[in-house]
Amino acid sequence: MVRSWPSLAGRAQLSAQLLGEVMLTLLLAVTLAYAWRDGVPLADEFVGTVGPAPVGIATLQVSGNNLSGKPVLTSRLPQVPPAPPRQLRVPTAPPVQLLIPTLDVHRAVEKIGVDAFGVLDLPVNSWNAGWYKAGPVPGAPGDAVIEGHAGYPGKPMIFGKLVTLRPGAQIIVVLADGTRQLFLVVSMRSVPADSGTPGLGAPYGVPRLTLITCSGHFDKKSFWYSERLLVETRYAGPA
């Protein structure tokens, strides 16, 4: 069988076709190389095609009462991290007044110590509260302790209704320098009157406040309560 070769005109047409395909391939390669960088599209290619360019945080207007649920534009610019909270001054002035709004308590606070057996002394004025002066100042690191009389059955005194407090109730302690320290009730528990309480009045840890009063069975002969009620609170900052 005799093999025929394409004519001169055919060969020229084939060469031109191959040259065109090569040039198209090279042009496509160059276009892709300049339009994409490591898979990230150039910004100019998307301006005007997918909506407005993103705005900065400073120019974004957000309504505080917008309840529509529509998505809010966010900026692609790096956001500045929020400043750390301001370091509050550790209070050193002693407490002079105790306020419990839900119980209508607003009484003076006296400094008290302990007797030879380690039992808390009582305030000179039975209607006042007593702050354990060897412990932390309310609002300073540690467990500040304030006690008060419960009174007698049917005759409540300053802390007679302390047991009715609920979690979240506010306790405000006014210091001698005029500042107010806010505490929120966390929990309460009763312990035997003759037992010790580990950590009570500790001068370390997060700022907190413990209120103490009498509870449990009342002995009419000895005028003695069988238990002590401890109301534990957490520090919520200056009031």
Rounded to two decimals, the pTM is 0.64
Measured between alpha carbons, how far is 159 from 162 in angstroms, rounded to an integer?
A: 5
**28 is in which domain, residue-wise?**
9-59
Read off the CATH number of the domain in which 215 is found.
2.40.260.10
**46 lies in the same domain as 105:** no
Q: In the predicted model, is pLDDT for residue 214 greater than 90?
A: yes
**46 lies in the same domain as 157:** no
**50 lies in the same domain as 107:** no
- Helices (H) then strands (E): counts for the chain: 1, 12
List pLDDT tens digits, range 114-170: 888 888 899 999 999 999 999 999 999 999 999 999 999 999 999 999 999 999 999
**153 lies in the same domain as 54:** no
Q: In the predicted model, is pLDDT for residue 220 greater than 70?
A: yes
- CA triple 186-150-208, angle to 5 deg: 30
- Would you state the structure tokens that stand for residue 200, as one six-digit string? 């009570």
Bridging pattern class, strands 224-238 and 180-192? antiparallel
**26 lies in the same domain as 107:** no
Check residue 170 and give its pLDDT.
97
**18 lies in the same domain as 125:** no
Model confidence at 88, pLDDT cuts 50, 70, 90, reads low
**132 lies in the same domain as 183:** yes
Asked if 109 and 181 touch (Cβ cutoff 8 Å), the reply is no
Measured between alpha carbons, how far is 132 from 153 in angstroms, rounded to an integer?
A: 26
Q: Classify residue 18: in a domain, yes or no.
A: yes
Count of domains forming the chain:
2
At 155, which amino acid appears? Answer: K
Tally of CB atoms within 10 A around 180: 15
Check residue 228 and give its pLDDT.
94
Question: What 3-state DSSP class applies to 41?
Answer: strand
Check residue 225 and give its pLDDT.
92
- Of residues 162, 185, 161, the one with CA closest to residue 172: 185
Question: What 3-state DSSP class applies to 111?
Answer: strand
- Of residues 98, 191, 181, 182, the one with CA closest to residue 147: 98
Tally of CB atoms within 10 A around 195: 8
**52 lies in the same domain as 169:** no
